Structure 1
Amino acid sequence: EYWWWSLFIVLAGIVLAVVDTLTGTMGMFGDSGLLGGLFELGVIVPSLALGVRRLHDINRTGWWLLLVFGFFPIAAIGGGILLVSFFLLDNFLILTVLGFAMVIGGGILGLIGIIVLIVWAIKQGDTGPNKYGPDPRMATSQ
């Protein structure tokens, strides 16, 4: 289920990027075009839910997603601090060091976390029930 959803996301993203490029709407939402940006907004909640289900399948808490992806906003805030330090405060040393540490630290920790999540996603789920529920691969009889 998880990998089929991932394949759908990748293929739909490619198709929508081509359509956005052909219609001239590429870049309206950062790197995405109009259709791609709307698609991303539409799939974020189901993607997070499926990620949590996948983590539960290997007996891990869904909070790992928040922890891992929480590092990237830290890096972005650090980038903002760097910009303020450079352009508004005439390269104020303490803020420059703080911003640089946040960008580098948040980025590196986020990338390490993504690698860990990929390894966990590849791992086969627990056999039988775990604390998050029954094994989804086992047939349930009602």
Structure 2
Amino acid sequence: MGRAVDSRNYQEDVSYGEALSRFFNGYIQFEGRSNRGEFWKAWLCCFGISILAGIVDSIIGMQVVSTIFSLAVLIPSIAIAARRLHDIDRSGWWMLIALIPVVGIIVLLVWYAKSPDPAPNRFG
């Protein structure tokens, strides 16, 4: 019997809105893959919202909005990072390499920027 052909495009280009939608819709989904565009566009949107939350906090004089936003994106951020590592055929547990000062963060950034595996891998 032949193997089913996977027609998923692992290099799909998503819009910023779609990336943010997938980010929040998959907030506890640690399985599967997230491509580079989805990961970086969601990260950029969250970064921009974080800056806006900081501005609002400085206006009201309390760190309420940025704290709530940070807590709201904590688990989805971990989930999308794990799925991004799955896209390059690495386990999500490799995020723990960030605990190694400086070197760990650099390694993760390189992996997050790496091209995805063009075919299905052990994670999808």
TM more than 0.5? yes
The separation in 2 between residues aligned to 1:58 and 1:7, in whole angstroms, is 20
Determine the structure 2 residue equivalent to 1:87. none
Q: Provide Cα deviations, 1:31-90, integer angstroms capped at 9, x if missing partner.
A: xx211011000101101000000000000000011x224x3xxxxxxxxxxxxxxxxxxx
The normalised TM-score by structure 1 is 0.59
The separation in 1 between residues aligned to 2:102 and 2:59, in whole angstroms, is 32
The separation in 2 between residues aligned to 1:21 and 1:56, in whole angstroms, is 38
Determine the structure 2 residue equivalent to 1:13. 50
Q: Of 81, 106, 114, which aligns to 1:51? A: 81
> Is 1:114 matched up with 2:105?
yes
Q: Which has the higher helix share?
A: 1
> Is 1:24 matched up with 2:61?
yes
Q: Which runs of 4+ in 1 moved over 4 A?
A: none
Q: Which protein has greater RCO, CA pairs closer than 8 Å, 6+ apart?
A: 2
Gaps of 5+ in 2: 1-37
- CA displacement at 1:18 relative to structure 2: 0.4
What letter corresponds to residue 51 of structure 2 in structure 1? I
Q: Provide Cα deviations, 1:82-139, integer angstroms capped at 9, x if missing partner.
A: xxxxxxxxxxxxxxxxxxxxxxxxxxx2321111000001111001101111xxxxxx
Q: Of 13, 30, 41, which aligns to 1:4? A: 41
The separation in 2 between residues aligned to 1:45 and 1:110, in whole angstroms, is 22
The separation in 1 between residues aligned to 2:101 and 2:46, in whole angstroms, is 21
The separation in 2 between residues aligned to 1:52 and 1:131, in whole angstroms, is 14
Q: Of 116, 121, 124, which aligns to 1:130? A: 121
What letter corresponds to residue 17 of structure 1 in structure 2? G
Larger Rg: 1
